[in-house]
Amino acid sequence: MTDYDTVSADVEHEEEIPEDHPRYQDLLTRHRIERGVEKGITHLQGMHAEGRGSAFDYLLGEETIPSADEAERAAAAHLLLADRPVLSINGNVAALVPGEMVELADAVDADLEVNLFNRTPERIEAIADHLREHGAEDVKGLEADARIPNLDHQRAKVDADGIHAADVVVVPLEDGDRAEALEAMGKTEIVIDLNPLSRSPQVAEVPIVDNIIRAVPNVTAHARDLADADEAELRKIIQAFDREAALEEAERRIRDGEL
């Protein structure tokens, strides 16, 4: 039997966290965010965002609920049908799922774009390098030669041939203002966020209420499963997905779920 009390809150390597620990995913997530802060990838505020997410995940039972799985399949269908899909990467996303985002980009032929709330050239470079270490070939977000309308200067910056020109964007853990501004530009937004009441999932065409650690690999798995599906089948999956019902179901689980 594992003596869980011996697991320090500050492990050196994530392999030291026992996989059978009842709070394994939470410890792993916390550890990755801490490492992200140390590496200059994640802003200190990212730790706070993670704490919020972790509380919602606890209430969801730390599992992908069926309505989230449906959202993840619909997200895969949107990405496969898109002409110019882009996956947006911020400091928490880079710390938590760098390799998984690279794999998803490969599976659906999407671009990766670094997009930060607290933008500094050093952090952009550090994140781009981190993604390259995890297999990314082309990383956008360094040009920042276009603007999202109706946002303040720093948060509006995007690449003209990246998010600005995208038809479908995946914006995990996105701030509500930017999610609203992207929606106003007419983008199809896929948001990953554990809080169904947050503005970002509320404006998304596909709100995925799930931990990004589980959500991204599952979208990739659906995309691989649907790789040979024709357009009609993909459109059917998109039409069958009910965003309001998915948000309601997630909220119901959080309020009424048995712990």
CA of residue 229 relative to chain centroid, distance: 24
Quote the tokens at residue 5: 């009390």
CA pair distance 109, 129, nearest whole angstrom: 20
Q: CB of 195: closest distance to ligand ATP in angstroms?
A: 4
Neighbours of 176 (CB within 10 A): 15
Contact predicate 169/176, CB 8 Å:
no
Among positions 17, 27, 49, 60, the unique one binding ligand ATP when judged by CB under 6 A: 49
Task: For ligand ATP, give the closer residue by CB, 168 or 212.
Answer: 212
Could you tell me if residue 248 is left (phi over 0), alpha (psi between -120 and 50 degrees) or otherwise beta?
A: alpha
| Window 68 to 107, contacts with ligand ATP (CB under 6 A) | 96
Task: For ligand ATP, give the closer residue by CB, 52 or 119.
Answer: 52
**Strands, E, within 5-116: which ranges?**
85-89, 111-114
**Which x/- pattern, by CB under 6 A, does the window 189-228 give for ligand ATP?**
---xxxx--xxx----------xxx---------------
Q: CB of 122: closest distance to ligand ATP in angstroms?
A: 21
**Strands, E, within 60-208: which ranges?**
85-89, 111-114, 139-140, 146-147, 157-158, 168-172, 188-192, 206-208
Among positions 36, 53, 85, 141, the unique one binding ligand ATP when judged by CB under 6 A: 53
Task: For ligand ATP, give the closer residue by CB, 64 or 81.
Answer: 64
CA distances from 78 to 160, 169, 190, 239, 248 (A): 21, 10, 9, 10, 21
Q: CB of 24: closest distance to ligand ATP in angstroms?
A: 14
| Window 21 to 40, contacts with ligand ATP (CB under 6 A) | 29
Among positions 161, 175, 205, 242, the unique one binding ligand ATP when judged by CB under 6 A: 175
Instruction: List residues near ligand ATP by CB under 6 A.
Output: 29, 49-50, 52-53, 56, 96, 173, 175-176, 192-195, 198-200, 211-213
